[in-house]
Structure 1
């Protein structure tokens, strides 16, 4: 008991030193300190609901799976780094030591996995104050979660998504940096493997993140009831995508507001699912009843069919965008135009109070 108490006090002091532990801890909750060379997964597996696994500065060559409700996995800032194991032997050894869940996470090419089930979502997990880098698929990947919080995480040069979540509700993604990831910096979806209608996120929030150099800054795919606000997006091929398709209900009820979206002019080639991208600010395709407001969108320039400041585009399976409101945005220097509506079959879309110079068709400014 004395040893545990000393370890707890040491961890609390470390938290206070980083400014992360100003609030008093609940006495029943344990802080489990992990240093480079020690197994993060073993500490996670030993943790009880409400515990914190605290990672010191340094590089960890490991993948980690979290499925305990109320668990916090926290580093001490960007210098706490999770990278893939250096070689196959190291990966196999780490997976054997950590167990099947971590093995599956690593085999999937992910850095951190937060995993619930369809019948039992994992609740109140937090991932904070660390870097995930160089994983072949995703830096942080979550599925079947409720009230997941990802904050102050840096996701860099991961093969697909920097931070991703599917089949989840009430998530909070705040203060993260996602840079130079292969697809989206932040990717939120109903399901990546199943064809189904858009699902309600019960108010998921994506705010105050910096998203730079990715294929797409933020992708919101087949979801409803979600807010993307106060983010800075630059240097991506496209900044924000709100994507729907022919399934019912349609994607929509998404609010995109108060973001700064500038010079997303990286060039990305065509894929099997999407045309070539360059110079796209905010794109709505197959979405309904969404609000795009009070964004500053400037100097997004490209020759893709999806280029422009704010673009309404009929989905590639022919689904229209309907009843979306584009209001009070500040647009300048976007090409081929500040406002672009190629979804001529869409119904009830409105453009009001925007500051802009050019639109396609004319008259939207």
Structure 2
């Protein structure tokens, strides 16, 4: 066993199959332990594919960028808090704490993550996705953009992460596939607690996520609990969504292929009655349970959707909302949900297309009448 040094304070052996492209698997993966006052980024930079960076309880004022496949970034619980660096921290200081002359590329990446206002960045390449990274059991808070931001990843797992009071998104991912987001808490973030998209900046057709899974998360006090934008083949299941301006958004546009083939199942979506003002992209929000716009072949089933009440054009229990760009929602199925106390109605269909199905829902009110 190799001798541990610097932040290598513990070594473990395991067989973990992980890799980026042709990266070889290792039979002796390392655990790099970081204590309060030390640099998480320095440990990440020193890690090899398949290694674990284990973070002790404490507050760490830095942004962290992960570009190593198969890496696990594991905190020792929610008492591991990652916050923005102090304003006086300079690029020179950051380079020093992320490896100095031997870690210039990593330092530059960490600076880029911080400059963009993100806490933890997991970054691959467009033609070479970063594979099998895991983030688990830590808190990210106070960043101007996202607590966790991932791009060009494959099989990213985010578990038991608490993302609180970040300026835009709690946990965000774009241009990625086969992600798992399980058991996280996203609270009081400026936009979505969980935000998943094909591309944040580019107009293009929906992409297939290969079965990305969003389950058992607690999403509260955000503008939107979960946003799924221009994606296909994704499941949002068994989440607790409350106290947001809107619960779950499934959003498409005029591009092809159309967004859809999303399953929203067995979630508890209650009292999402926070009031949020109109933005350049979206009307004012309040009292929305599940909103679908510009989507196809989406299934909304076995959810409990209660007491979502507001006067926004998007208010209601389950709302098929007429797309701002005129794209119709077609072949969506809303079935076997338990709805009550939603205003202006439990089910709201603003679509001109009549190719959507409402069946076997337990509800009292609908617009137009007759959907319950």
Which position in structure 1 is the counterpart of 2:250? Answer: 242
Superposed counterparts of 1:42-191, under 5 Å:
42-89=42-89, 93-95=93-95, 97-98=97-98, 99-191=107-199
Shift of 1:93: 1.7
Instruction: Call closer, same or farther: CA 1:80–1:91 in 2, change over 3 Å.
Output: farther
Instruction: Tell whether the 8 Å contact from 2:9 to 2:33 is kept in structure 1 after alignment.
Output: no
Counterpart CA distance in 1 for 2:329 and 2:370 is 19
Shift of 1:122: 0.2
Counterpart CA distance in 2 for 1:338 and 1:276 is 19
Counterpart CA distance in 1 for 2:301 and 2:2 is 56
Shift of 1:91: 6.5
Instruction: Call closer, same or farther: CA 1:244–1:96 in 2, change over 3 Å.
Output: farther
Q: Secondary structure at the match of 1:297?
A: strand
Instruction: Tell whether the 8 Å contact from 1:219 to 1:243 is kept in structure 2 after alignment.
Output: yes
The question of 1:327 aligning with 2:335 is answered: yes
Which position in structure 1 is the counterpart of 2:229? Answer: 221
Superposed counterparts of 1:245-260, under 5 Å:
245-260=253-268
Which position in structure 2 is the counterpart of 1:348? Answer: 355
Shift of 1:10: 5.1
Counterpart CA distance in 2 for 1:39 and 1:308 is 47
Q: 1:285 aligns with which of 281, 288, 293?
A: 293
Shift of 1:330: 0.1
- After TM superposition, which residue ranges in structure 1, 4 or more long, deviate above 4 angstroms? 7-12
Instruction: Tell whether the 8 Å contact from 1:65 to 1:105 is kept in structure 2 after alignment.
Output: yes
The question of 1:34 aligning with 2:40 is answered: no
Shift of 1:314: 1.3
Q: TM-score, normalised by structure 2?
A: 0.91
Superposed counterparts of 1:305-320, under 5 Å:
305-320=313-328
Partner deviation per Cα, 1:133-182 (whole Å, 9 max, x = no partner): 00000000000000000000000000000000000000000000000000
Which position in structure 2 is the counterpart of 1:15? Answer: none
Q: 2:200 aligns with which of 187, 192, 199?
A: 192
Instruction: Call closer, same or farther: CA 1:273–1:76 in 2, change over 3 Å.
Output: same
Which position in structure 2 is the counterpart of 1:361? Answer: 368
Q: 1:302 aligns with which of 292, 297, 310?
A: 310
Shift of 1:68: 0.6
The question of 1:202 aligning with 2:210 is answered: yes
Q: TM-score, normalised by structure 1?
A: 0.93
Q: Which runs of 5+ in 1 are unaligned?
A: 13-25
Partner deviation per Cα, 1:296-342 (whole Å, 9 max, x = no partner): 00000000000000000111111110000000000000000000001
89-98 or 261-270, larger mean C-alpha shift: 89-98
Q: Secondary structure at the match of 2:4?
A: helix
Shift of 1:88: 3.0
Shift of 1:27: 5.4
Counterpart CA distance in 2 for 1:137 and 1:263 is 26
Q: Secondary structure at the match of 1:88?
A: coil
Instruction: Tell whether the 8 Å contact from 1:85 to 1:91 is kept in structure 2 after alignment.
Output: no
Computed over aligned residues only, the root mean square deviation of the Cα atoms, in angstroms, reads 1.6
